[in-house]
A and B are shown apart, each in its own frame.
Chain A
Amino acid sequence: MLGREKKEHQSYIEIVLFICALLCVAAVVIITIFVLVSALPLFKEVRLSDFLFSTHWLPTSRKDPGFGILSFIIGSLYVTFGALVIAVPLGIATAIFLAEMSTPKMAEVLGSAVQLLAGIPSVIYGFFGVMVIAPKVRQLFGGSGYSVMSASIVLAIMILPTIISISEVAISAVPKGYKEASLSLGASKWQTIFKVILPAARPGILASIGLGIGRAVGETTAVLMVGGNAPIMPKGLTSMVRTLTMNIATDMGYASGLHRTALFATGGVLFVFIMLLNIFVQVIQKKVKKDI
């Protein structure tokens, strides 16, 4: 039997624990409000369409100030697409190997390698990019080496672990019966993998790509080190590039007034994009759970 005092004590504890959990919700709400509200003053002076669809970025100019971030939006999409082209085939193939072809011992070693790859800080990838990848790109393709291509390669390495681990889970979660049914109908192992298992695992694989896109678009330090950071529209793979994240990180230290607000607004654009992507991924993952 619980004494009344003890019962009260119990409910206090529950309230404290509930507040801890509620702080996570509060954090998301406060982040959303502060990031978006700090961006608003910009739109008293600059039209939204001029902000999103102009490449004219001269925030410190007295005569002809410009706050257009189109080049950086395109830059972000460009390096992210480049990273996906490399990382998606590589990642899915490695996931297939892990789930379908490796022995348990091999899977364990590979799994910890992937985990280690995920744990390496982005500044190390950036440093490796500066020392190895950018010089190689310069040597092979010309230009300065600090380019869309270098940024895409570095990002591809960084999103590989995300794509591998989540795709692997999705592939392993395909019911054994599917595979057995396909094999017993006379399909080969490869037909089974490509025609039965991969289609069944498609939502999970899509979620892994979605999370990879989120990581690539949001990555700052590594691309800042290898992308060149010139505030221009990227013209090709060897052209320098500035992404949304780089734009925030570069000027934040000294910007003031409308310039600073424009950086907050850049953050707002990135934030809205990431939120939409997150919702997309969570909807898919919910669907995966329901299907299994």
Chain B
Amino acid sequence: MIKKYLIWMATIITIGILVAILGYMLVNGLKFVVEDEDGIINFLFQAPKKAGKEGGISTIIANTIFMIVLTLIFCVPIGLGASIYISEYAGQRRSVTAIKFSIDTLAGIPSIIFGLFGFIFFSNYLKLGVGLLSGSLTLSIMVLPTIIKTSVEAINAVPISYREGSLALGATKWDTVKRVVLPSALPGILAGVVLAIGRIIGETAALTFTMGTDYRLADSLSSSARVLSTHLYLLTKEGISFERAFATANVLIIIILIINMASNRLIKRRTIVDE
């Protein structure tokens, strides 16, 4: 029976770790997000001053949004195109093995290698410099596997009868994909995009030398931009302000919680549609 208790204990420890981290963060930082020295939710709407020692994180939130939009512009069309090819067009062709192998490989490459590659390739070789564009291009390669894997799964889950029905009515293959398969796979595809946003927001290592760390509002594609995760990293690493680090961590955690709920909802909706 000892084994049973050990297994129970391990499970409780796992859950305990999660509760401890979330609890610790929320207890120590949520209050500051809600109300800092200058007023209620001022932290979210004021620009940072003195490298983040004073002020809020408004420009950093804006930069984060720019980065997300830019990254999605690059990776969603390519990811979706690749997913449609893999699940609808490729069949048993040999190229699929190479494509799937590449996707698994990309998924396993650590973010620092993407950062290194982005720095060598986008910033220096293509002379895009260190800024929003280089950083977003780097991230878009990094999150491709997330988007492709979830989209392929969602597209494969669409019943074959849907496709057969559409083809039997005289629709072309592409029309079938566009009007029948993609609409019913949409919740699953969106879940993949939402998960990708989660990875984009959490990334630090791939960004420090591709996107830079300027905490002012980015005003062009080539301007250096600090995002939430790099801000939290620098605030802690350089001991600038632990109060504001806690608050920034809370903003990140709340976004991650929302993303988690959203993707779960979307995935659940897919299963209901299937039934």
Chain A residues proximal to chain B, CB less than 8 Å: 2, 6, 9-10, 13-14, 16-25, 27-28, 30-31, 34-35, 38, 89-91, 93-94, 96-98, 101, 110, 112-117, 119-128, 130-132, 157, 160, 164, 190, 194, 211, 214-215, 217-221, 224-225, 245, 248-249, 252-253, 263-264, 267, 270-271, 274-275, 277-278, 281-282
Taking A121-B229, A122-B202, A218-B112 as known contacts, 10 extra A-B pairs with beta carbons closer than 8 A to each other, sorted by chain A number, are A14-B89, A31-B113, A90-B14, A119-B259, A124-B202, A127-B249, A128-B25, A221-B204, A253-B209, A282-B101
Q: Pick from B102, B198, B236: contact of A126, CB below 8 A.
A: B236
Q: How far is the CA of A164 from the CA of B201 in the complex (A)?
A: 24
**Are A21 and B205 in contact, CB atoms less than 8 angstroms apart?**
no
Min CB gap A171→B, angstroms: 12
Q: Pick from B102, B174, B208, B229: contact of A28, CB below 8 A.
A: B102
Chain B residues proximal to chain A, CB less than 8 Å: 3-4, 6-11, 13-15, 17-18, 21, 24-25, 28, 77-82, 84-86, 89-90, 95, 98-99, 101-106, 108-117, 119-121, 125, 141, 144-145, 148, 172-174, 195, 198, 201-205, 208-209, 229-230, 232-233, 236-237, 242, 245, 249, 252-253, 256-257, 259-260, 264
Min CB gap B227→A, angstroms: 10
Min CB gap B223→A, angstroms: 17
**Are B77 and A20 in contact, CB atoms less than 8 angstroms apart?**
yes
Closest 7 CB pairs of A and B: A218-B110, A121-B202, A20-B81, A93-B10, A220-B205, A17-B85, A21-B82
Chain A: CB-nearest residue to B232: A123
Q: How far is the CA of A176 from the CA of B106 in the complex (A)?
A: 34
**Are B86 and A21 in contact, CB atoms less than 8 angstroms apart?**
yes
User: Which residues from chain B contact A117 at a C-beta distance below 8 Å?
Assistant: 14, 17-18
**Are A121 and B203 in contact, CB atoms less than 8 angstroms apart?**
yes
User: Which residues from chain B contact A116 at a C-beta distance below 8 Å?
Assistant: 18, 256-257, 260
Q: How far is the CA of A23 from the CA of B7 in the complex (A)?
A: 45
Known contacts A10-B172, A93-B10, A274 near B116 by CB under 8 Å: no
User: Which residues from chain A contact B18 at a C-beta distance below 8 Å?
Assistant: 113, 116-117
Q: Could you jot down 16 A-B contacts, CB within 8 Å?
A: A24-B82, A24-B144, A96-B7, A120-B21, A122-B205, A123-B252, A124-B25, A125-B21, A126-B236, A127-B249, A132-B24, A220-B112, A252-B208, A264-B120, A274-B108, A275-B105
Known contacts A21-B81, A128-B24, A123 near B204 by CB under 8 Å: yes
**Are A6 and B102 in contact, CB atoms less than 8 angstroms apart?**
no
**Are A119 and B260 in contact, CB atoms less than 8 angstroms apart?**
yes
Known contacts A17-B82, A93-B7, A160-B17, A214 near B203 by CB under 8 Å: no
Min CB gap A91→B, angstroms: 8
**Are B120 and A35 in contact, CB atoms less than 8 angstroms apart?**
yes
Min CB gap B150→A, angstroms: 13
Min CB gap B113→A, angstroms: 5
Chain A: CB-nearest residue to B98: A25
Known contacts A25-B99, A34-B125, A220-B205, A267 near B11 by CB under 8 Å: no
User: Which residues from chain B contact A120 at a C-beta distance below 8 Å?
Assistant: 21, 202, 253, 256
- Counting chain A CB atoms within 10 Å of each CB, the highest count among B81, B105, B116, B249 belongs to B116
Known contacts A121-B202, A124-B252, A225 near B24 by CB under 8 Å: no
Known contacts A21-B90, A218-B112, A93 near B106 by CB under 8 Å: no
- Counting chain A CB atoms within 10 Å of each CB, the highest count among B28, B117, B257 belongs to B117
User: Which residues from chain A contact B145 at a C-beta distance below 8 Å?
Assistant: 24
Q: Pick from B3, B17, B117, B249: contact of A190, CB below 8 A.
A: B3
Q: Pick from A13, A96, A274: contact of B113, CB below 8 A.
A: A274
Q: Pick from A28, A89, A211, A225: contact of B236, CB below 8 A.
A: A225
Q: Pick from A10, A91, A157: contact of B174, CB below 8 A.
A: A10
Q: How far is the CA of A129 from the CA of B105 in the complex (A)?
A: 29
**Are B21 and A128 in contact, CB atoms less than 8 angstroms apart?**
yes
Q: How far is the CA of A128 from the CA of B233 in the complex (A)?
A: 11
User: Which residues from chain A contact B114 at a C-beta distance below 8 Å?
Assistant: 31
**Are B81 and A17 in contact, CB atoms less than 8 angstroms apart?**
yes
